[in-house]
Amino acid sequence: MYNVTIFGIDLVINPVAFKLPIGENGWTIYWYGIIIATGFVLALVYGYLNAAKKGINIDRMLDVVLVATPCAILGARTYYVLFDPNGKVESISEFFGFNGSGISGLAIYGGVIGAVLSGVVMAKIRKVNIFDLLDLASVAFLIGQGIGRWGNFFNQEAFGGPTGSTWWGMTSENVVSDFRLQGFEIDALAHPCFLYESVWCLVGALVLHQLGKKRRFSGETALMYCAWYGFGRAIIETMRTDSLMLGNAKVSFLLSLLICVGAVVTIIVVNNKMKTAKADTSYDEMFKDEIALELSQTEEDTENEEE
């Protein structure tokens, strides 16, 4: 149980949702897991409802999701263990939480990396246009991330340093303990970084969904996702006190800047190439392999329907 005060509102937060009568000591279900699962389901629903608009076969998309999901969890856990100084594990059982302790530590970036890498491979196998799939997944990612960040609230983590305000911010036992270690005033209020990122992601989902309707090339929405999330995460990461570190640098801050700048530069370069190329051939020439894949997929779907 956590006694939490956020924006002047006093709350009592229980990270445990309920217990199932399984095993000798029961099976504890945490709000963190429920919220993460809710975000995943909502992201999947978005993908299901919008796949056809991107010309993606729903059955093939679900095949990709079935492979990408466990890879995302593996990536999230691996990223955390690699960069958290206290995240070392002694065994495979501890890595996956099979020793009864549960999985303590997942990183969003690792999850996204795992999902994208495995998704790209599976998309090739199932003959799904990779760029269209990434455009669709980008908005879905933001939905899942925006919802999932509230799991950090129930775990009382992912907060930042002092806000300098007497009402804006939050405090709890975890905040006081962290501020004492960091040398901050223990009665100061902390930046609710989980809230900042949640709002940033959900607003981004709305923005990218609208912009995606007028995308100029396949993959543009995915690049916008990288720019949007990378920019916001870089700023939020400067406030956090629990960042994963690479030496003396915050690894997620460095990665966010790299992804944001890379995405912006790529968008500019592609748009310039499209402007200088002939209007009737620019898209075909730049993405002829993807167009051929779409045509072959359409023909295959037609043959299957006739059979």
Q: How far apart are CA 66 and CA 289, in angstroms?
A: 25
Segment 237-265 shows an average pLDDT of 92
Alpha helices in the chain (DSSP H): 31-50, 58-83, 92-96, 108-125, 130-148, 150-155, 173-182, 193-212, 220-237, 251-276, 282-286, 288-306
**Amino acid letter, 98:** F
- Output the pLDDT for position 288: 60
Q: How many CB atoms lie within 10 A of CB 138?
A: 26
Tell me the pLDDT tens digit for each residue of 92-127.
666 665 555 555 577 888 999 999 999 999 999 999
- Output the pLDDT for position 280: 47
Tell me the pLDDT tens digit for each residue of 178-220.
999 999 999 999 999 999 999 999 999 999 999 999 999 999 9
Phi then psi for 106, rounded to 5 degrees? -130, 150
Confidence of residue 282 (pLDDT cuts 50, 70, 90): very low
CA neighbours closer than 13 Å in the CB half-sphere of residue 227: 16
Tell me the pLDDT tens digit for each residue of 10-57.
999 999 999 888 877 778 889 998 999 999 999 999 999 999 999 999
Q: How far apart are CA 6 and CA 191, in angstroms?
A: 10
More confident residue, 298 or 7: 7
Segment 74-97 shows an average pLDDT of 72
CA distances to 33, 101, 150, 200 from 18, in Å = 12, 16, 18, 30
Confidence of residue 286 (pLDDT cuts 50, 70, 90): low
Whether 302 shows a pLDDT value over 60: the answer reads no
CB 157, CB 173: distance < 8 Å: no
